[in-house]
Structure 1
Amino acid sequence: MKRALTPARLPARDVLRTGAVGLRARRARVVLSALGIAIGIATMVAVVGLSESSRADLMARLDRLGTNLLTVEAGKDALGQEVRLPKNAVAMVERIGPVQHATGTGDVDARIRRSDLVPEERTAGVTTQAVRTDLLAALGGEVDRGVWFDPARERLPVTVLGAVAAERLGVTRTGETIMMNDTRVVVVGILKPLELVPTLDRVAMVGFPAAERHFGFDGHPTTVFERSTDASVEDVRAILARTISPGGEGGVKVSRPSDALAAKAATDKGLTTLMLGLGAVALLVGGVGVANTMVISVLERRQEIGLRRALGATRNAIRLQFLTESLLLSALGGATGALLGAAATYGFARFQGWTAVVPPWSLAGGLAATLLIGAVAGLYPAVRASRLHPTVALNAT
């Protein structure tokens, strides 16, 4: 009894070779279709990479600045009355065990003008604050030009300007003078921007003793800054209010400035999600391009399909051939897009001075997405090609 002959299966190597030959025969169309996939993947990889690079840079700056800074400000009591921090608030905070640095600033009622020729109401948006000599040590600030206060200078009518205040007043070097009310004061220093406390960038600072002597300051701080060990931040935070104002802690506000920067990193995720959505749309458009290319390929190659069927190729072999072409086309676009996205991330991060971060999962996820799209886009053309009858296909013109 004779056995029925069964068609031999193509080895995986021959399947890949056959699929690659189909792509090489239509290079221009393949390039354009792969480009759609590449744009989508490049967009997704670059969005994730730039978002992670930006977030990593922000967190690195937070680590350098320290996240152990707490700020205490006067609020309102239960009756809605303004609360004043005691004059010895800083000394009270310094007595807390884990505290490493404590300092304070106070609001001074002094109008700032560039010169006595400028009307008093034109203050350029610069306010005045009384500060202690240990402020920079507590906040990790640095002097850009000139000097900071010492025990002698804090008693004199001299000022140190924040970075924004100096810009608004048009002060570019030390030794220049500005007006505080009717008192001419000398600018002895200009600070670099303070990232954790940017409100001080818009301030003209004077020493506590000088503020009391020349500008009627009452000596009560309005803000106290405190640094402790990282491990004890929350414990110190829990007792700061009642340490400064026993029995009236409800009128004292304690905050952590670094939380604002950490929140900024979190809000970046919203933009990342939006951009990923745009990348997904581009990827979908690329998938439609792949599907279109494969459908046209089936229509153009009906005689080839009929000839292969007549020579013994099974429907599964035809399906596998066209599905392989679709997967190869998508993989080509995906790999190109991943490289372009990574290159864009590294280039932009280097331009910004960031540490470039391209998460491996974004590359793997992008390639997986392209293969999925390739499978979906090639499924219908592959099934359609396999259903062509050999006789009909060979007679097609």
Structure 2
Amino acid sequence: MTVLKAVPALDAEAAPLPKPTRLGPRDVLGHGMHGMRTRPLRAVLSALGIAIGIAAIVAVVSIPASSAQALSDRLAALGTNLLRAQPGQQLIGGGTAKLPVESVAMAKRVKPVTAVSATGLTTATVRRTDRIDVDETSGLTVLAATPDLLGLLGGQLHAGTFLDAANSRYPAVVLGSVAATRLGILDVPVGSPPQVWIGNQWFTVVGILDATTLAPEIERSVLVGWDVATTRLGFDGHPSTVYLKCAESEVESVRGVLGATLNPEQPGEVKVTRPSDALAAKRLSDSSFSALFLALGGVALLVGGVGVANTMVISVLERRREIGLRRALGATRRQVRGQFLAESMLLSGLGGVVGVLLGVAVTAGYALIQHWPAVLPPVALFGGVGVAAVVGALAGAYPAMRAARLTPTEALS
């Protein structure tokens, strides 16, 4: 006869259920990548929106930085100690004033001044040939100049030679870079130099200048010798612009006395400017456009974030059964929330890395075309990835919480 023994009841306190364990970073990363691997096209398209926004931000920050560095290098080479004096308005009558003929000699008397040169505006017009209508000047001016002008402005010759003691006494002309383009003269061949028609006579082109950063008015001018301008073009000898350089530390003091030095009788009729200040002002105006493009990059980034959020919401709806199965097997709300939040941040992080690389490539390419040094601020590079991660966290917050709120029965139904 079989004897049945009573089985002792299980003691709930003696054998407690195991506590749910937290997922490690490696597990969270693996779960986050699962959704990207199963839907690669959707993941790429979502990350692309983030990449475009980050690339725009990196380029907008880096390109102005490259431009500023190029400008700083240029100013360092040319010097910020250049001053320019021009006649202003007459105090009585309101007409255009004139600088005295002795202006250059008087400027040289100022002790801190190291170099002085000048140009004088003539009434002559320049044309490519004598058959062109007299009113067709191409917006160019004819200036009297001295041989020391090129060195003082730090200019460079594109072709030929500049005015010197020999050719300044003859009908020779040097073209600014813009003037040469408008006249259709791009070179000065040896033995057969081109000619232009100035003041009803032919002048031989002996040189062409490159762009002059600190004196853009020279680019739109043709330069003739001071003596030739006086004898052949009716120039009255009054300088229209006086350029001078002085010790860097004395710029402001020289600027303060220059008006009284050049025109002692009417110092208020002299307008003194510093060309490097104009370049700095131009850079400030450029920075306003940079802010506009930065805002556009932010809009692109916002659109990318919305795309990531949309992708994650759809992912939650499509993976309800997966969520329900995980919850039924013991996954906590925190673990489900962490899975979808990690997937969202991975998508945005991928877009951020691609966007930074794309922004670097755009900046380097544009700087190469402009012959600028490529400057990549660290804040733009690391900030781009950081901003992408923040966007991913914000975009994935709601879908992650929605997934975590699903109960196993709701998800599996």
TM, length-normalised to structure 2: 0.89
For 1:76-111, what per-residue CA distance to the aligned partner results, in whole angstroms no more than 9, with x for missing partners? 232124322111111111111221110111112223
Name the residue aligned to 1:304.
322
Name the residue aligned to 1:222.
240
Indicate conservation of the 8 Å contact 1:334/1:366, yes or no.
yes
Say yes or no: does 1:27 pair with 2:40.
yes
C-alpha distance 8-241 of structure 1, shift in aligned 2 (>3 A): same
| Pairing of 1:288-299 with structure 2 (within 5 A) | 288-299=306-317
Name the residue aligned to 1:107.
121
Q: Secondary structure of the residue that 1:97 maps to in structure 2?
A: coil
Q: Which of 65, 86, 91 is matched with 1:78 structurally? A: 91
Rounded Cα–Cα distance in structure 1 between residues aligned with 2:135 and 2:43 = 69
Q: Which of 159, 177, 180 is matched with 2:195 structurally? A: 177
Q: One-letter code of the match for 1:265?
A: R
Name the residue aligned to 1:263.
281
Q: One-letter code of the match for 1:29?
A: R
Q: Secondary structure of the residue that 2:158 maps to in structure 1?
A: strand
Q: Deviation of residue 253 (structure 1)?
A: 0.2
Say yes or no: does 1:154 pair with 2:168.
yes
Say yes or no: does 1:95 pair with 2:118.
no
Q: Secondary structure of the residue that 1:38 maps to in structure 2?
A: helix
Q: Which of 41, 62, 69 is matched with 1:49 structurally? A: 62
Question: Which region of structure 1 is more displaced relative to structure 2, 43-52 or 251-260?
Answer: 43-52
Indicate conservation of the 8 Å contact 1:59/1:262, yes or no.
no
For 1:115-173, what per-residue CA distance to the aligned partner results, in whole angstroms no more than 9, with x for missing partners? 44444333333322111121112111233333222233323333222233333334443
Rounded Cα–Cα distance in structure 1 between residues aligned with 2:385 and 2:398 = 21
Q: Deviation of residue 252 (structure 1)?
A: 0.4
Q: Deviation of residue 318 (structure 1)?
A: 1.6
Question: What percentage of residue pairs aligned between the two structures are identical?
Answer: 51
C-alpha distance 114-30 of structure 1, shift in aligned 2 (>3 A): closer
Rounded Cα–Cα distance in structure 2 between residues aligned with 1:383 and 1:271 = 40
Name the residue aligned to 1:330.
348
- Is there any run of 5+ residues in structure 2 with no aligned partner, and where? 1-12
C-alpha distance 337-167 of structure 1, shift in aligned 2 (>3 A): closer
C-alpha distance 300-178 of structure 1, shift in aligned 2 (>3 A): closer
Indicate conservation of the 8 Å contact 1:105/1:223, yes or no.
yes
Indicate conservation of the 8 Å contact 1:120/1:181, yes or no.
no
Rounded Cα–Cα distance in structure 1 between residues aligned with 2:348 and 2:367 = 28
Rounded Cα–Cα distance in structure 2 between residues aligned with 1:340 and 1:366 = 11
Say yes or no: does 1:275 pair with 2:293.
yes
Question: Which region of structure 1 is more displaced relative to structure 2, 3-12 or 214-223?
Answer: 3-12
C-alpha distance 22-170 of structure 1, shift in aligned 2 (>3 A): closer
C-alpha distance 261-182 of structure 1, shift in aligned 2 (>3 A): same
C-alpha distance 344-184 of structure 1, shift in aligned 2 (>3 A): closer
Which entry has the higher C-alpha Rg, 1 or 2? 2
Indicate conservation of the 8 Å contact 1:103/1:224, yes or no.
yes
C-alpha distance 231-301 of structure 1, shift in aligned 2 (>3 A): same
Name the residue aligned to 2:332.
314
Rounded Cα–Cα distance in structure 2 between residues aligned with 1:347 and 1:205 = 37
Rounded Cα–Cα distance in structure 2 between residues aligned with 1:10 and 1:169 = 75
Q: Deviation of residue 333 (structure 1)?
A: 1.5
Name the residue aligned to 1:12.
25
Rounded Cα–Cα distance in structure 2 between residues aligned with 1:124 and 1:297 = 65
Q: Secondary structure of the residue that 2:197 maps to in structure 1?
A: strand
C-alpha distance 166-380 of structure 1, shift in aligned 2 (>3 A): closer
For 1:289-308, what per-residue CA distance to the aligned partner results, in whole angstroms no more than 9, with x for missing partners? 21122112222222222222
Q: Deviation of residue 247 (structure 1)?
A: 4.6
Q: One-letter code of the match for 1:145?
A: A
Q: Which of 124, 140, 148 is matched with 2:138 structurally? A: 124
Q: One-letter code of the match for 2:62?
A: G
Rounded Cα–Cα distance in structure 2 between residues aligned with 1:45 and 1:392 = 44
Q: One-letter code of the match for 1:23?
A: M
Rounded Cα–Cα distance in structure 1 between residues aligned with 2:168 and 2:264 = 30
Name the residue aligned to 1:246.
264
Rounded Cα–Cα distance in structure 2 between residues aligned with 1:167 and 1:308 = 74
Name the residue aligned to 1:387.
405
Q: Secondary structure of the residue that 2:165 maps to in structure 1?
A: coil
Name the residue aligned to 1:351.
369
Q: Deviation of residue 229 (structure 1)?
A: 2.4
- Is there any run of 5+ residues in structure 1 with no aligned partner, and where? none
Q: Secondary structure of the residue that 1:371 maps to in structure 2?
A: helix
Q: One-letter code of the match for 1:382?
A: A
Q: Which of 199, 215, 227 is matched with 2:217 structurally? A: 199
Q: Which of 178, 182, 185 is matched with 1:168 structurally? A: 182
Rounded Cα–Cα distance in structure 2 between residues aligned with 1:112 and 1:19 = 72
Q: Secondary structure of the residue that 2:115 maps to in structure 1?
A: strand
Rounded Cα–Cα distance in structure 2 between residues aligned with 1:304 and 1:117 = 86
For 1:247-275, what per-residue CA distance to the aligned partner results, in whole angstroms no more than 9, with x for missing partners? 52211000112222222222222222222
Q: Which of 55, 73, 77 is matched with 1:60 structurally? A: 73
Q: One-letter code of the match for 2:27?
A: D
Rounded Cα–Cα distance in structure 2 between residues aligned with 1:21 and 1:113 = 73
